[in-house]
Chain A
């Protein structure tokens, strides 16, 4: 499925878009990490929590759990949510 990558992570993908697969968000991020080593740990901590300033949207709705089921036609958007200087 198509994954929109935020600018802060494009040093890994070299592109705003990546193709990855997985039937859950966890599997999708694992596939991204196989392609772009290190990208998952920047988004998910060692306790399997999505990091505080990372937001994931699936078909426009925010997803908070790595166990979220995904379908092959889903559109996944990863966003960096940071304010302040």
Chain B
């Protein structure tokens, strides 16, 4: 596939890859509003700015690494339909999208899909500065060409017969709705895209999103189901390595995986995790400069799937050799009786050296590490249920 040689130029979720160090902010989206935490230069003290949109459900809050100033927030409330807001002054003022993501009108079909909420936001390639992608619940892919002000259904997948079957119904999805997430833009090629669906698998496009195809070889599914069927696949979080865009990592419902392109076969690197911890979880983040390094935050996937820290003893696990080995990192975390749940988009890495890591719990605690996971401290508590955490960097002006 044709590619330009600019591996640090684009952003996808938290893996923003800014070349120059700026001031770190951590964007926290919760079930009841959004907060922006500003770090000092040493990332030791944090100043909360918020709540923004108090009482609104914020699924994702993302800073555009291409201009380091545009924020998009995916917003809804319990009573009202979904929308998006945009700010270019770090949230002092917000402008609502004139046309939020919405499926095409289908006349005379009482079951026709409507967007319940926008779940995921990804800025497009650096060469397309006004373009953004959005993933929704139920699963849909949308695109904006005007900086998030208006959105249109994008690509063939929203209406393709196979994709509609693979997406399943609301009953087939996650408890708060099936989702399209982990929209990834290859930093070398704006036409090379990935996304994931829970459920529905991982998919790739090499023609700018005109068409997509499943990318599922090697991935396990729940026992008794046919792994050839995308509908049975449940990727929780997929990340591309900014330092080697041919490498992807994935935290899946059925384990932790690595994929080295051009291979199409995922390798289950989670089998190298300690057996008593397992390799189930939701978030995964990658090192901005070292493609052999990635972090997961395991959850208990046994019996009825508590989805809490195994044994009530939370920890992050890091690999520094591409998943051959994993090391526990729990310095500063509670030693016992901490039954945390961390959602798939609620863990993030910044671009600093050493890398700062951040995660937020559903019990409203925000944790940070300034030394690549060796030591952790809680930098905010008593927040609402945390849905998403994104580290970003502001450029000094």
A-side residues, CB < 8 A to B, are 6, 8-9, 37-38, 41-49, 51, 53-54, 80-82, 84
Q: Which residues of B contact A45 (CB under 8 A)?
A: 81, 102, 114-115
Asked if B109 is at the interface of the complex by the 8 Å CB criterion, the answer is yes
Residue from the list A37, A43, A46, A53 in contact with B78, Cβ < 8 A? A53
CA distance A28 to B106 in the complex (A): 22
Question: Which of B77, B78, B97 has the most CB atoms of chain A within a 10 A radius of its CB?
Answer: B78
Q: Which residue of B lies closest to A49 (CB)?
A: B114
Judging by beta carbons under 8 Å apart, are A53 and B79 in contact?
A: yes
B80 and A43 contacting across the interface, CB-CB below 8 Å: yes
Q: Which of B79-99 contact A (CB under 8 A)?
A: 79-81, 83, 96-98
If A8-B80, A9-B80 touch, does A46 touch B103 (CB 8 Å cutoff)? Answer: yes
**In whole angstroms, how far apart are the Cα atoms of A44 and B81 in the complex?**
7
List of B residues within 8 angstroms of A41 by Cβ: 81, 83, 100, 102
Which of A42, A46, A49 touches B80 (beta carbons < 8 Å)? Answer: A42
Q: Closest Cβ of chain B: how far from A66's Cβ, in Å?
A: 13
Assembly CA distance A44 to B173 (angstroms)? 24
Across the two chains, which residue of chain A brings its CB closest to B98? Answer: A37
Which of B79, B97, B100, B115: most chain A CB closer than 10 A? Answer: B79
Residues of B181-218 at the interface with A, using a CB-CB cut-off of 8 Å, are none
With contacts A37-B98, A38-B98, A41-B83 known, is A8 near B105, CB below 8 A?
A: no
B112 CB-CB contact with A under 8 Å: yes
Shortest Cβ distance from A39 into chain B, in angstroms? Answer: 9
**A82-B105 in contact (CB<8A):** no
Q: Which residues of the other chain, B, contact A6 by a CB distance below 8 angstroms?
A: 79
Q: A77: shortest Cβ distance to chain B, in Å?
A: 15
Which residues of the other chain, B, contact A46 by a CB distance below 8 angstroms? 102-105, 114-115
